[in-house]
Chain A
Amino acid sequence: MRGKDLLECMEHIDDALVEEALEPAAFPHRTNKITKWGMAAACVVVIGISATAFWSHQNVKEDRTASPMAMDTAGSDNSADSLSEDSLTAGAVAENTQADVDDMGGSVNDISAPSDVCALPTAEEYSGAGSGSDSGDGAVSQDSAADAASGTGNTAVIDREEKLEKETAKLAYTVISDYYGEKDGSVYDYPVPEKGKFFCYHYLQETMEYYDKRGNTTESTETFVYAYDVVIDIYGDIEKEGSRGIGHSSVGSEKIEQEYMRLTELGYTVRLSEDFQLSGTFTKEELDAFQASPEYGYTFRFADEY
């Protein structure tokens, strides 16, 4: 059979098919409105997500560029801006500031080798939070609440703002972890501290005095707070005769762990290593007013100071 034969066979197709094709309707142009609007909505969503991602990325970049400046001026303006007076809690501030510090860690070390910046609530703030409630409300929020309750008008508001700035500024520390100058190679012999007493080793003491003086004389460091990374040696009944701390027996380890828990509850920023060496980050004020246990004596030193 040839094509022409098949073409002629088409004559015998159903009459209904022939009638159907007699007046054919135009093809439905599928301009589906739902599809069209759906695609438009999808485009808007994609643009929105992109814009949000870009905006947040820009914010992170700005934070990174702004953070070193915050260290130089010792003020934490970004943190201060981000704080809501009504919702401010010490924990929240600490987290914000800590995030800033994490972002800029490297650049800080470039500026000042032995120093670092971190966010640390002061011992007083932690004490306040601990004695008050477990909700995490710190000294700042308590002060704010107290001021608000007093209702002293504009003056109170201004005072509260100033206080807020100061409190916020205190939360940004420059952490010193080494002697400020060159060591002269002198060897110092320290006595074992008596129970309930403590003292700082020579280089740590000198460093604290150095930064304390600098803080008092420099205008820009009015609200600038230094903290010191220190190693804490504890002396007690166990190994009383030794020159080292008590953490070299199982009983001593337990006691050190208990002391670590006590210091933590007091609000100090302390750490306990696997070999039961206590260390922590303290401000000068915290060290001066250190709440020693009557069972132990304490020495504070830089990690490389013996």
Chain B
Amino acid sequence: MEDNEIIELYWKRSQRAIVETDGKYGGRLQTLSMNILHDRQDAEECVNDTYHATWNTLPPERPNYFFAYLAKLARNFSFGKYDYYHAQKRCVTVVELSDEIENCIPSPDDLEQKLDSREIGRIISEFLYKQPTEMRTVFVRRYWYMDSIKDIADMFQISESKVKSILFRMRNKLREHLEKEDIHL
């Protein structure tokens, strides 16, 4: 079923909307959540929370990119659950990715967040649109979908070292872009 038809089901308040959503995107949402939480049960809870939030927000929302809309919700729930469960003992994957992407921050010692997260997201999007499709896709797979290096290498049929190389260059470019924009995070 097409995304528009599923959205239409939500708008008609049909229970079938959630079944269709789960059938089409359930697996991917589960994977995304699993990448953050590394716990199947927690991931399932996050996905269910996502369906619930979608049911509550459609209508009035009518997203142009339905999966992105779902995935953002799932990601948000996953990070919330992560923070809740791992306040003391942090997940290895999140630590690893946090350390990696911290290199993009021009002034790591400046702890003051001068821009809200939406504005930062817009700036990062602007940067990504300037990059080659393959490069930005790898970047998004790594830092949005939280995929492992190996999974990305398999997905794009390239070597892991090449993935690492691409990410390294992209991080440096992002830092330069943020510096150029005179943005202090």
CB < 8 Å: which of B63, B110, B185 contacts A6? B185
Q: A5 vs B104: C-alpha distance in the bound complex, in angstroms? A: 12
The residue from A3, A18, A24, A27 contacting B65, defined by CB atoms under 8 A apart: A18
Q: How many residues on the A side are at the interface (Cβ–Cβ under 8 A)?
A: 27
Closest Cβ of chain A to B100, distance in Å, is: 7
- B122 — nearest CB in chain A belongs to which residue? A12
User: How many interface residues does B have (CB within 8 Å)?
Assistant: 48
Task: Tell whether A13 pairs with B157 under 8 Å between CB atoms, given A3-B97, A7-B143, A22-B28.
Answer: no
Q: Report the bound CA distance from A14 to B185 in whole Å.
A: 19
Known: A6-B105, A27-B134. A11 touches B128 (CB 8 A): no
> Which of A3, A11, A27 meets B76, CB within 8 Å?
A11
* Assembled-state Cα–Cα distance A26/B118 (Å): 30
B68 interface residue, CB < 8 Å from A?
yes
Assess the B79–A17 pair: CB atoms within 8 A.
Answer: no
Q: Please tell me if B9 contacts chain A, counting CB pairs below 8 Å.
A: no
Known A7-B97, A10-B143, A20-B140; further 20 A-B contacts with Cβ < 8 A: A1-B113, A3-B101, A3-B102, A6-B120, A7-B98, A7-B143, A9-B117, A9-B121, A9-B124, A12-B118, A12-B121, A13-B128, A14-B122, A17-B128, A17-B140, A19-B67, A19-B68, A20-B133, A21-B141, A26-B157
B158 adjacent to A1 (CB under 8 Å): no
Q: Is A16 among interface residues, defined by CB-CB distance under 8 A?
A: yes
Residues of chain A touching chain B, judged by Cβ–Cβ distance below 8 Å, are 1-22, 24, 26-29
A19's nearest neighbour on chain B, judged by CB, is B65
Chain B residues contacting A11 (CB-CB under 8 Å) are: 72, 75-76, 79, 117, 121, 144
Would you mind naming 9 contact pairs between A and B with Cβ atoms under 8 Å apart? A1-B110, A3-B101, A6-B185, A7-B143, A9-B121, A12-B121, A14-B121, A16-B68, A19-B65
| Chain A residues whose CB sits within 8 angstroms of the CB of B94 once the complex forms | 4, 7
Closest to B113 in A: A1
